[in-house]
Structure 1
Amino acid sequence: MTQAGTAPAATESRAKPIVWSIAGNDSGGGAGLAADLRAAEAFGVHLCPVVAAVTAQNSQAVTHIDAVAPDVLDAQLAALAADLPPAALKTGLLGGRAQIEVVARWVDRLRERSPVALVVDPVLRASSGADFAAADTVAAYRELLLPRATLVTPNRREAERLAGVDEGSADAPELARRLQALGATSVCITGGDDGAGQGDWALDWIDTAHASGWLALPRHATPHTHGTGCTFATSAASALALGFVPADALVLAKMATTQALRDGYAAGQGAGPVHARAGFGTQADLMPVLSWDENSDFDSCQRLPGARQSPISLENELGLYAIVDSAERVRQVVAAGVRVVQLRIKTPDATLRAAVAQALAACNAAGATLVVNDHWRLAAELRAPAVHLGQEDLQALGSEGRAELAASGLKLGVSSHSLWELARARGLRPWYAACGPVWPTLTKAMPWVPQGMDNLAWWVHMAGVPVVAIGGILAPEQLTEAARSGASGVCVVRGLGDDPARTVPAWQAALQAGRAAPPLPVPALPHPSLGVQ
C-alpha cells in the first residue's frame, strides 16, 4: 500500500512535466538554478536549467555578475525547444534587456505550438543589497515580460519598482492591481522576506482569476533563507506544469517554500540555503489559510493541526449524510435512521419558513441534526443547529455578514472544490468542509474535475477539520470507498430513492464496511480539480 508522502509507483513510468528555468547560476549553490532544481525535484517535474547569468557569490555577498551573451542564451533555448518543450517556463535573474528580449521571443514561439505558463520572478536585487537591474532592464520587464506573464511573484520592493511607485506608497493589493494593469494575468506579492504580515504570520497577497486574498502560514524564524524567492517561483511553475490553476499553484508553492525554510541549513558564514524536498504535500501543518478579503488580521485564526480524521470519533462523526429537498423527505430519512440531513431548497417561496420549521421539528423528534442549505438567517431565527453555505455565498456576505454568521452560533458546513477553496474554508474553522464532486454529478453543472478517492483522502489528511464527501455517490459500493478515506460524513442525494426506509439500511451497511476496511493511501500531492483556462 502506498504510504502518505510517497508517490505511487505507477507514476514513475510516466513522462514528467517539463519546466524551463531561465535564471542565474549561484556559485554558492544557494539561490538561482541550484534552488530551482531542488524545488522542481520536490514536485516531481523535470527542470531544464538555462543559464542566463553567471554570478560570483557566496553566502555573504554577490561579488560579480556576468550576463550570458544573447546568442548563447538563444542557443540553449533552441536546443531545448527541439527536444524538451516546456509546460511551464520560469525566469529568475536574466541579466539585462537583451536577454529579456530573447526570452520574450521564445515565449511567443513556444505558445504558437502549445500552451506554456510563464512565471516571472523579477530578480532585481539580492538580499545582500546587490542591484541586479538597471533602469532599461526594469523597463524591459514591464514592456516584454509582464504582458506575457501567467504569474509574477515579486517581493514588495520588487513590486514597487516594477509598478514605478515610491517605497511604502502602495499596499500589496494595490501593487498587484498595478502589475495586472501592466499585463500580468496573476500576481503574488510575497511578504516573508521583509517581515510583512500580522503577528507571527507570514503573508503573501495573491490576485488571480479565481481568488484573491492573503495566503497565510505561521512564520518560521530562521537565518537560512537564501533562495526563498527562487524556490517559491519554481514551485509555482512546477504546479502550473502539473495542471493546477494559479490560485492552487500558489497554495502548493506556499507549502513547499515553508517546508524548504524549515529544512534550511548552514553553508558558509552567512544565510544558508533553503532546502525544498519531496513530502511537503502531506505535511498537514503546511496547509495554509486564505483570507476572504484584504483584512490581514490572522491573530484570531487559531492554528489548525490538519491531522487526519481517522479513526472517526464520536465528536466528528457525521456518518450517512442525506440531502433532500422537502420537509416530507426530511421526515422520511430521519424515520429511516439517518442522523444528519440537509434541507436544500434552492428556489424559496412563501412556504420556505414552514418547510424549515417542519423539518426541524422532525429532526428534533428523532434526535437528528438538521442542516439548512443557504438560508442561514432563517435557520438562526428558527434555532436550527447548522447551515451549509457555498463559497460564493460566503464571499457575497462580506466581512460584516461573515462576522454576523459566526456570532449566530450556527454550526457551519462549507463547500470546497479546490486547494484555494479549502485554504479559505479553513479560516472559518467550520464544522466540516465538503470535498466534491467526488464522482461526476448531474445534480448541478460544475466546472470541477471529479476529486476521486485520491483527492478525498488528501482532503481528509490535510483539512484540519472534519471532511464530508459529496457528489455522484449513487451506489453503496461508492460510499464504502469514500468511507475508507476517513471522511466524517458521506452525502447521498438521488441514491436515497423513493423509499428511504428500504434504501437507507444498505447505505448504512456500506458506511460500516468502509469504516472497517483498510484506509485509503494519501497521495504525495492532489491532482488538479479545475481545468486550466
Structure 2
Amino acid sequence: MRPPVIWSIAGTDSGGGAGLAADQRAADAFGVHLCTVVAAVTAQNSHSVARIEPLPVAWLDAQLEALAADMPPLVIKTGLLGGVAQVECVARWVDLLRRERPVALVVDPVLGASTGAQFADAAVLRAYRDLLLPRATVVTPNLHEAHRLLEAHDSGLGDSDDAGRSDVPALARRLRAAGAAAVCITGGDSTDHVQSAEREALDWIDTEHAAGWLASPRVDTKHNHGTGCTFASSVAAALALGYVAADALVLAKMATTQALRGGHAAGAGAGPVMALPGFHADPALLPRMSWGEAACFAAPRRSDDPLLGLYAIVDSAERVRQVLAAGVRSVQLRIKTPPLSDAANPAQAPDARWTALLRDEIARSVAACRAAKAELFINDHWALAQELGASGVHLGQEDLLALGEAGRGELLRSGLALGISSHSLWELCRTRALAPRYVACGPVWPTLTKDMPWRPQGLDNLRWWNAMAGAPVVAIGGILQPGQVSEAAACGVSGVCVVRALGVDATTTVPVLATALREGVATTALKKHERPERARQESLLPLPHPSLPNGWGLAPPPGSCP
C-alpha cells in the first residue's frame, strides 16, 4: 500500500542539519512519503548561516505544478520560504489544491536562525499573518516567533520575549484568533517555563480538542540543529496518517525528543538531531499533558498495586453484592440516573431524595466490598466516595476538566485511588499527569452502552496503551463474550471491564468470564516464558491507529500506518 504523501516547501541546509534534510528524516521515521520542494537555498554550516537565496517564484511554481499533477499531498508543511512572493505562491497553491480535496497546512514560521540570522522582515511577517495563518491547520512557532508573527496586528506586543512570557496560553489564543486552527508554541529551546526538578521541556498546545502543556524531560545536548523542522514535519506526517491535531502534536513531541537523543556532532558547532523510526514504542517518550494552564503534574504512584482482574461495572448495591458473591474483587458502582421511584419519602425534594438514595447505595456497596476485601470505585461522586470510605473513584475526562485545578488538587489529596477514562493519545497523556491507579482504554470494541465519537481501539491499540501508559490499564467497551475477555486479557492488561456481559444472573456469568480471563492471562505468560521470540516480535508495537476522525477527510485507508 502506498504511504501518504506530504510536501515540504522549505529551504536547503548545506550542512545537512535543518530544513529539507531534517524534514526527510522525520518523514522517514513516520513512514510517509515526503516530496521536497525547494523554496530557498542557504549556505550554512554548524556555526552560522552565510547566505540565503530565495528561489524565483517561477521555479517554485514549476515544482508545485509538477507534483500536483502526479503526487498531490494530504498535508503541506512550510519551512523557510524566503520572501513575500514565495509566501503568496504557497497560499495560492494551498487554495488551488483545496478546491480538489482536503489538504492540511502545517506552518513552521522559520523567521530566523538559532545563530541570530534573521530570515523575515516586516513585509514577510505581514504575509505570514495575512496569508498563511488563516489557512494553517497547525502553526508551530517558538515563543519568539509567536511574538513576531503577531507584531503586524497587535501593537501591544513588542519584539521582546518578555512581552507575554508568563501568558503563553493567551498568546496561543491570539494566534488562533488570527486564523490558525491549532497552535503549538514550542518551549524546548527555553528554560523560562521549567518549573520541575526534572527540567522538563514544555510545549503549549491549543487545538479544537485539547489545550495544555505537553511535558517531557529535557534532553541535555547541544546537538539540536533542526529541532523545529523535525517537530513540524512530524506533525505533518501524523496528520497525513489520520490523527487529529492534538494527537499529531503528541506524536511529534515523542519523535522530536527521540531525535534530540540521537543528535550528533557533524562539525565544530551544534550538530543535527536525528529522527528515527521506533519513537512511538518507547514509553519514556510519551509526554504528560497538563489539565489546565498551570504545569502541574502529580508524583508517580507506587507500582505494587494488585491486578484488577475481572472488573464488574454495576448500577446498584444489590448488584455489587451479587458480583462479589460470584467472586469478583474489582467493582465500579455507576449510578447515572436518580431512582426517584424508590424514594422512601416522596415528600422530600427530588434532589434530597436522590442524594439520600445515592448515599445509601454507596454506603452499602462500601460495606459489602470491605467485607469481601474487594476494591470499590465510585463513578463520578468522588466527595461521597471519600466520605463513605470507598477505596477509589472513576472519572471521565470531561468530569476532571470541570473540577478545575483546585478541584483536581483536592481530589488527589483525598487519597482515593483514581481511575480515568481515555480514548485518544492526548487523553492518555493527560491521565499521566494525575498518576492514576489505572487508565481505562476504550472502547475496545463497538459499544452501545454510551454514545461516543471514538472509533473502536481494537486489540492493537489496547496493546499499545498497555505498553505505553505508565500505569495499569483496563480494557473497556463492547466486551460482551467470554472470548473477548480472553483476547483483552492476553494483551497484558491489569483488568477487563464487563457491564452487559454480566447478564441478569452474575452467579452464572461471572465464573465463565473469570475462566476466560485466566485463559487470556495464561496465553500472555506462555508467550513470555515458552515462546520468547514470538513475544519479542509482538512487543514491536506499530503506531496506534487514530481513534477520532480528523475532520479534514485526511484519514488514509486502513492499514496504511507503519
TM-score range, shorter chain: over 0.9
* Aligned partner of residue 548 in structure 2, secondary structure: coil
Letter in structure 2 aligned against 1:344: R
Amino acid at match of 1:290: M
SS in 2 for 1:442: coil
Q: Does 1:197 align with 2:193?
A: yes
Q: Say whether residues 1:530 and 2:548 are aligned partners.
A: yes
| Matching residue of 1:326 | 316
Q: Distance in 2 between matches of 1:237 and 1:504?
A: 47
Q: Is 2:418 aligned against 1:412?
A: yes
Change (3 A) 1:48 1:510: same
Give matches, 1:256-271, under 5 Å.
Answer: 256-271=255-270
Is 1:77 the counterpart of 2:77? The answer is no
Alignment correspondent of 1:375: 381
Secondary structure class of the residue paired with 1:194: coil
1:395 to 401, 410, 413: 401
**Aligned amino acid, residue 484 of structure 1:** A
Select 2:163's aligned residue among 162, 165, 169.
169
> What is the aligned length?
511
Check conservation: 1:439, 1:452, Cα contact below 8 A.
yes
Query: d(CA) in 2 for partners of 1:414 and 1:315?
Result: 16
Q: 2:450 aligns with which of 429, 437, 444?
A: 444
Equivalent residue of 2:12, what SS?
strand
Secondary structure of the 2:38 match is strand
1:411-490 maps to which residues of 2 (within 5 A)?
411-490=417-496
The gaps in structure 1 that reach 5 residues or longer are 1-13, 306-312
Amino acid across the alignment from 1:182:
A
CA distance in 2, matches of 1:297, 1:158: 26
Q: Which letter maps to 1:374?
A: D
Correspondence 1:187 to 2:177: no
Letter in 2 for 1:21: S
Counterpart of 1:226 in structure 2: which amino acid? H
Partner deviation per Cα, 1:304-348 (whole Å, 9 max, x = no partner):
99xxxxxxx973300000001111111111100000011100123
SS at match of 1:351: helix
Structure 1 CA distance for aligned equivalents of residues 299 and 328 of structure 2: 33
Runs of 4+, deviation exceeding 4 Å: 519-522
Aligned counterpart in structure 1 of residue 515 of structure 2, from 491, 509, 521: 509
TM-score by length of 2: 0.89
How far is the alpha carbon of 1:297 from its aligned partner? Answer: 4.6
Tell me which of 358, 364, 371 is aligned to 1:352: 358
CA distance in 1, matches of 2:402, 2:365: 27
- 1:96 correspondence with 2:102: no
Task: State the distance in 2 between where 1:397 and 1:195 align.
Answer: 29
CA contact (8 A) 2:296 2:433 kept: no
Q: Which AA in structure 2 matches 1:22?
A: I
Deviation track 1:266-287 (CA, whole Å, cap 9, x = no partner) reads: 0011100000000100111001
Distance between the aligned counterparts of 2:435 and 2:501, measured in 1? 30
Query: In the aligned structure 1, how far is the partner of 2:540 from the partner of 2:289?
Result: 23
More moved, 283-292 vs 513-522: 513-522
Report how far residue 196 of structure 1 moved.
Answer: 3.3
1:524 to partner: Cα distance: 2.6
- 1:123-146 CA-to-partner distances (Å, cap 9, x unmatched) read 000001111011111100000000
Question: Following TM superposition, by how much is the alpha carbon of 1:234 offset from its aligned partner in structure 2, in angstroms?
Answer: 0.3
Asked if 2 retains the 8 angstrom alpha-carbon contact of 1:316 and 1:466, the reply is no
Offset of 1:370 from its aligned partner?
Answer: 1.2
The answer to whether structure 1 residue 296 and structure 2 residue 299 are counterparts is: no
Alignment match, 1:134:
121
1:19 aligns with 2:19: no
Contact 1:454–1:522 (8 Å) recurs in 2: no
In structure 2, the CA distance between the partners of 1:522 and 1:476, relative to structure 1 (3 Å rule), is farther
State the partner residue of 1:32.
Answer: 19
Secondary structure of the residue aligned to 2:545 is: coil
Match of 2:556 in 1: none
Q: 1:205 to 1:371 in 2, by over 3 A?
A: same
Partner of 1:54: 41
For 2:129, give the aligned amino acid.
R
Residue 484 of structure 1: how far off its partner (Å): 1.1
Q: What is residue 493 of structure 1 aligned with on the other side? A: 499
Distance in 1 separating the partners of 2:54 and 2:405:
49
Alpha-carbon distance in structure 2 between the residues aligned to 1:521 and 1:224:
31
* 8 Å CA contact retained: 1:23, 1:52: yes
> Contact 1:156–1:191 (CA<8 Å) still a contact in 2?
yes
In structure 1, distance between residues paired with 2:541 and 2:163: 44
Which AA in structure 2 matches 1:92? G
Mark the runs of 5 or more structure 2 residues left unpaired by the alignment. Answer: 152-156, 339-353, 528-534, 552-562
Helix, strand or coil at the partner of 2:418: strand
Q: How far 1:523 sits from its partner (Å)?
A: 2.4
Q: TM-score, normalised by structure 1?
A: 0.94
SS at 1:177's partner residue? helix
Q: Give me the CA root mean square deviation.
A: 1.3
Amino acid of the structure 1 residue aligned with 2:404: G
Deviation of residue 197 (structure 1)?
A: 2.4
Letter in 2 for 1:195: T
Task: Name the CA distance, whole Å, in 1 between partners of 2:306 and 2:183.
Answer: 38
- The one-letter code sitting in structure 2 at the alignment partner of 1:355 is E
Question: By how many angstroms is 1:412 displaced?
Answer: 0.3
The whole-number CA distance in structure 1 between the counterparts of 2:299 and 2:133 is 34
1:209 partner SS: coil
Amino acid at match of 1:194: S
Name the structure 1 match of 2:32. Answer: 45
Aligned mates of 1:273, 1:528 — CA distance in 2: 30
Alignment partner, residue 102 of structure 2: 115
Aligned match of 2:249: 250
| % identical equivalent positions | 65
Could you say if the C-alpha distance between residues 72 and 316 of structure 1 is closer, same or farther in structure 2, counting changes exceeding 3 Å? Answer: farther
The residue identity in structure 1 corresponding to 2:463 is A
Q: Find the aligned partners of 1:368 and 1:405 in 2 and give their Cα distance.
A: 21
Q: 2-side partners of 1:393 and 1:250: how far apart?
A: 24
* Contact 1:320–1:492, Cα closer than 8 Å, also in 2: yes
User: Does the 8 Å contact 1:461/1:522 carry over to 2?
Assistant: no
Give the letter for the 1:43 counterpart: F
* Alpha-carbon contact 1:454-1:521 (below 8 Å) kept: no
Question: Structure 2 vs 1, CA of residues 297 and 362 (structure 1 numbering), >3 Å: closer, same or farther?
Answer: closer
